[in-house]
Structure 1
């Protein structure tokens, strides 16, 4: 017997695929949305053993009025994960509209379906960083009380040339819109947000080419394939961001937890950030695990730039994820396992 049906928007995404598997393993039925049905084909194949409890509906435009009305019929829970994810944009208005209006359309459709009990909103640590409490060069620990107050102003000032702040602004604006809608409409269902940092870990759908590897695990892949360490770092590609991560399986677990603890989670945000894992740490882990590739994986300066246990730097910014750990009574997947499992999932591309 199913525990009820969960709607996962953008189900063919990296995080969403692992989330779908987590819900299916937990005994739920899953209905996903995708812009086109063929795009969900690889996911359906990967989850074929659960075909009796898994379906996908097409939602070509998440910003359209009543976009999710059909998708929400009969569901008890919603995980809204669909959102623009690229790091560089050319049309700022399109990105902001997709993030904000898409979230509001889900909420509006959910409000029409009396069976909906809880909604988990996929936000980001991008909506937390850049608060008015942080000053560059100052030691600061972000908590769920912090809000990004810089990115939207930066995007307003320079437009698409702002680069990654466009993404940060879209996530901040979308999450604020969700909480404002909740306050104004007082829905019968509860809502919580999860705010992960860079997400790593093995993808459910194995990429068929290096170009198809999810953005946030490209560093692990690049180092595994032998690329220079500095050029492989996400912090190098996205200046101002730390090399901090959480495992995709932990993100999925927290989304399931929100659905299963709606009263406790209602109105709450949860930072998901487990470790500081710069490129050197990835190289050290991979060189130890794969000694046969020691001549390919760059050596760098072993042990340099991070501490034992991969804790956040003490002389800069860090993230307090204790709220999520206390709520679930469970710690994060170790960084070594995240790196090795990711490499294992991609080694067929070597």
Structure 2
């Protein structure tokens, strides 16, 4: 309920910061677990949080989330946990050791670790975990070779190392394995709390932590904005997206005790809307013609993709989430890029 104390992890990321803001807007008091005081200041000083008091938002330093008992102190006195933190794929990660140690094991250990700390502390009623659509889909979906409809009760098959020496595949594996370990923990330990898993696909929306245009062209947003900034993506990429607004709201609504626990909720477009990645160039022409004229948006890149069919009826019915259109999402992303680029030019 509004006013309850909630521990949140991963708040310095795109999704995490969006969830943090949504939870504050809905009246929750937040304790953000961060690795350092510097990370806390990044959040605390953000212009969108102007006027937020220490009673509404406090911080706890957890320098190593993989250490035994890392969250033991952080979870004390909280009613809910929003566990958003998880490793993300980086192009520079190659080889078995890097991928397993840098992506897969931290995702598993971080999730199980916070579950153990919550069980030890008592008092926690629910943990909402940011999983991924990647935990639900078969590998064939990533190559566009399946017509299988993916739903919240689908489960991807555990992937063995070395994950084809591909950081994105290792990321998929990390989400599959972390979800399995979390569900096994609930089944075997039967702790005094339940878990809700939120499964977003590619998340699009304003990155309010971005201070420069280049920071918008980063992470999941880089796929979407690539064509308008002149980048050519050589291989087809799944055109399965969700809005940051929807993802953040889903996390907050999942805190409601009326929402069934020990369930998964998929956040995605339905995969049959008929749009394409290169449609973003048409959106740019329609909504940001001046940015094209002045060269801010070269608008001459390209990317192909394919939809993954998704059943989001459970998310719509129980969480009340209705997805934005692809065009609405891209207006936010391109708009922020143009806005920040203009500020940089004016300096």
Q: Does 1:54 align with 2:57?
A: yes
Supply the distance in 2 between the matched residues of 1:274 and 1:221 (Cα, whole angstroms). Answer: 18
Q: 2:6 touches 2:81 (CA, 8 Å); kept in 1?
A: yes
Q: Does 1:339 align with 2:330?
A: yes
Q: 2:128 touches 2:198 (CA, 8 Å); kept in 1?
A: yes
Supply the distance in 1 between the matched residues of 2:184 and 2:13 (Cα, whole angstroms). Answer: 26
Distance 1:242 1:101, change over 3 A: same
Please list, as runs of the form range in 1=range in 2, the aligned pairs for 1:235-246 lying within 5 A after superposition: 236=234, 241-246=237-242
Q: Does 1:327 align with 2:318?
A: yes
Deviation at 1:124, TM superposition (A): 0.5
Supply the distance in 2 between the matched residues of 1:214 and 1:49 (Cα, whole angstroms). Answer: 28
Distance 1:291 1:269, change over 3 A: same
Deviation at 1:133, TM superposition (A): 9.8
Match 1:349 to one of 334, 341, 345 = 341
The match for 2:345 is none
Supply the distance in 2 between the matched residues of 1:278 and 1:288 (Cα, whole angstroms). Answer: 16
Q: Does 1:268 align with 2:263?
A: yes
Equivalent position SS for 1:51: coil
The match for 1:203 is 207
User: TM-score scaled to structure 1, two decimals?
Assistant: 0.85
Supply the distance in 2 between the matched residues of 1:164 and 1:322 (Cα, whole angstroms). Answer: 27
Match 1:285 to one of 268, 274, 283 = 283
Distance 1:208 1:305, change over 3 A: closer
The match for 2:135 is 127
Deviation at 1:242, TM superposition (A): 0.5
Cα RMSD over matched residues?
Answer: 2.8
Deviation at 1:177, TM superposition (A): 0.4
Moved more, 211-220 or 112-121: 211-220
Supply the distance in 2 between the matched residues of 1:134 and 1:337 (Cα, whole angstroms). Answer: 25
Deviation at 1:292, TM superposition (A): 1.6
Residue by residue over 1:157-207, the C-alpha shift from the partner in whole angstroms, topping out at 9 and shown as x without a partner, is 64xx13311111111111110000000111111211011100010012123
Residue by residue over 1:68-104, the C-alpha shift from the partner in whole angstroms, topping out at 9 and shown as x without a partner, is 0111111111011111012443412312221111111
Q: Which runs of 5+ in 1 are unaligned?
A: 307-311
The match for 1:107 is 115
Match 1:257 to one of 230, 253, 257 = 253
Q: Which runs of 5+ in 2 are unaligned?
A: 343-347
